[in-house]
């Protein structure tokens, strides 16, 4: 084969792979979600102590089906048995799944619209999910109080951009996580998620890119003495700059 034929063949093979993995994503993973949802529902009612395991098993199987190995660095920055306020960028819909995979025992802050979904809303709440709604100061205050009660018992995952990025860039962080950190005794653990936007952005593209490499970078924690010494604005910028420092879409 000449160079032109090789290039054409490579493009054809990539097209086939893109189609295959996209079909897998939409069909197989949705079937997986339904199957695990039913198991999850039963466990939440009768064996709540097993929810952590089912969350981790679900996320592990999800990435195996997508044939995606996740490269993780910085695990030595996590102290065994210690809880954190875990803050990460929001590159795609898969961000929540990889965070649950790494921290299955942690609670996670999710968008308030999930609370309107019958059955699912109750299931997620019993599984440690907390809904963030924007319905005035009183509602926001109640949500923050619930989060503060949660962090007394374990770690809390927050994606402070509030929604998946629409252009691959990291956008300004909402300040709610600063209030939570300041009113808890937990250190702040920044995490950079790489490759997830290229794999499948939440907006603008319906197909999955099978050639992307997924990476999770766990940075050194920002300890409470440093947190207390900084203004809200400086702390937010510091966290954002740490996450941005190793970011690639």
Query: pLDDT of 212-238, one tens digit each?
Result: 999 999 999 999 999 999 999 999 999
The answer to which of 8-12, 28-32, 61-65 has the lowest mean pLDDT is 28-32
> E-assigned strands of 151-223?
156-158, 187-194, 214-218
User: Helices (H) and strands (E) in the chain — how many of each?
Assistant: 10, 7
Residues 107 and 155 sit within 8 Å (Cβ to Cβ): yes
* pLDDT for residue 41 is more than 70: no
Domain residues of the chain, as ranges? Answer: 69-245
- Could you tell me which of 237, 101, 72 has the C-alpha nearest to residue 170? 237
pTM given for the model = 0.82
Return the top range by mean pLDDT from 11-15, 53-57, 60-64, 86-90.
86-90
CB within 8 A of 8, min separation 6: which ones?
Answer: none
136: confidence class by pLDDT, cuts 50, 70, 90: very low
Please tell me what DSSP assigns to residue 75: G
CATH of 69-245, one of 3.30.450.40, 3.40.1130.10, 3.30.56.10, 3.80.10.10: 3.40.1130.10
Burial 114-132 (b: 16+ CB within 10 A, else e): ebeeeeebebbbebbbbbb
Per residue in 169-187, pLDDT tens?
999 998 878 888 888 888 9
């Amino acid at each position: 084969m000449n160079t032109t034929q090789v290039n054409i063949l490579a493009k054809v093979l990539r097209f086939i792979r893109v189609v295959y993995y996209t079909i897998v994503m939409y069909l197989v993973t949705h079937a997986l979600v339904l199957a695990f949802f039913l198991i999850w529902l039963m466990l939440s009612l009768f064996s709540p102590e097993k929810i952590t395991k089912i969350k981790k098993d679900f996320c592990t199987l999800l990435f195996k089906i997508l044939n995606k190995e996740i490269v993780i660095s910085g695990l030595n920055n996590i102290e065994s048995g210690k809880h954190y306020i875990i803050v990460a960028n929001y590159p795609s819909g898969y961000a929540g799944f990889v965070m649950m995979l790494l921290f299955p025992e942690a609670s996670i802050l999710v968008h308030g619209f999930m609370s309107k979904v019958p059955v699912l809303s109750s299931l997620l709440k019993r599984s440690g999910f907390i809904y963030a709604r924007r319905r005035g100061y009183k509602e926001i205050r109640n949500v923050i109080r619930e989060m503060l009660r949660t962090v007394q018992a374990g770690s809390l995952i927050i994606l402070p951009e509030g929604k998946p990025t629409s252009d691959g860039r990291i956008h300004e962080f909402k300040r709610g996580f600063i209030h939570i950190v300041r009113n808890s005794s937990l250190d702040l653990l920044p995490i950079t998620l790489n490759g997830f936007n290229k794999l499948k952005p939440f907006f603008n593209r319906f197909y999955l890119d099978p050639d992307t490499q997924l990476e999770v970078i766990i940075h050194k924690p920002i300890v409470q003495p440093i947190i207390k010494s900084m203004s809200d604005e400086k702390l937010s910028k510091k966290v954002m700059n740490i996450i941005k420092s190793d970011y690639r879409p």
